[in-house]
Chains A and B, each alone.
Chain A
Amino acid sequence: QLVLTQSPSASASLGASVKLTCTLSSGHSSYAVAWHQQQPEKGPRYLMKLNSDGRHSKGDGIPDRFSGSSSGAERYLTISSLQSEDEADYFCQTWGTDIVVFGGGTKLTVL
């Protein structure tokens, strides 16, 4: 079964960096994921598509502070030089034959 696992919460200080993790279920380590940001009371915003080899393509207007990387079944979203507006929920998402799966999301708090 295709499942994405994310930690429920993360925190980091203003100006620091944070690395969020999305883990693919066993047997699905070759899958690409997409990362989306959801600020409070807003709709989601597409950040990037991240392949299993670490190559990623970002959405229009996404700052260079946002980057992605991969290792095995892990897909990472790294945000550097954290700003207050980065405080949001971050969802990873993947897709298969006639199916779409979202991770449970990570709530990022900027201290």
Chain B
Amino acid sequence: EVQLLESGGGLVQPGGSLRLSCAASGFTFSSYAMSWVRQAPGKGLEWVSGISGSGDSTYDADSVRGRFTISRDNSKNTLSLQMNSLRAEDTAVYYCAKDPVEQWRGYFDSWGQGTLVTVSS
């Protein structure tokens, strides 16, 4: 059974940094692309960043490009999101999501339960 468990969320001041992690199990992690998707309170879903199975290719939404960096450690079955220069509008629950193939397409067939990031002074 695929399991995705996010961690690392919390309260951070505007301009600050935070690093999220997603521990994956139940599948061959390196064989599948992964993404981060967020949901602001009471709002819909917004894709944030994606990465291929090998980690060679990454993709970012315009709203986070240059501030957020997605990465993965296939030896530890872990996906990460380094978030810098955080803004109030980055406040959201952040979900880890799995693609059904190695090459990133942005189509998700499994989701984690999410971790809340609050950006506030």
Contacts and interface: CB of A to CB of B under 8 A. Distances in A.
Contact of A43 (B105, B107, B112): B112
Given A42-B113, A43-B95, A43-B114, A102 B108 contact: no
A42 B114 CA distance: 8
B47 interface: yes
Contact of A34 (B44, B50, B108, B114): B108
Given A98-B59, A100-B35, A44 B107 contact: no
A66 interface: no
Name the interface size band of chain B: 20 to 34
Contacts of B50: 100
Contacts of A103: 44
A48 to B, nearest CB: 10
A49 to B, nearest CB: 7
Given A91-B45, A100-B47, A105-B44, A43 B113 contact: yes
Main secondary structure of the interface of A (DSSP, over half): strand
Given A98-B59, A102-B44, A102-B46, A44 B111 contact: yes
B106 A44 contact: no
Interface in B30-62: 35, 37, 44-47, 50, 59, 61
A50 to B, nearest CB: 11
A34 B59 contact: no
Instruction: Rank and list the top 8 A-B pairs by shortest CB-CB distance, nearest first.
Output: A100-B47, A95-B106, A100-B106, A102-B45, A43-B113, A44-B111, A46-B109, A43-B111
Interface of B: 35, 37, 44-47, 50, 59, 61, 95, 97, 105-114
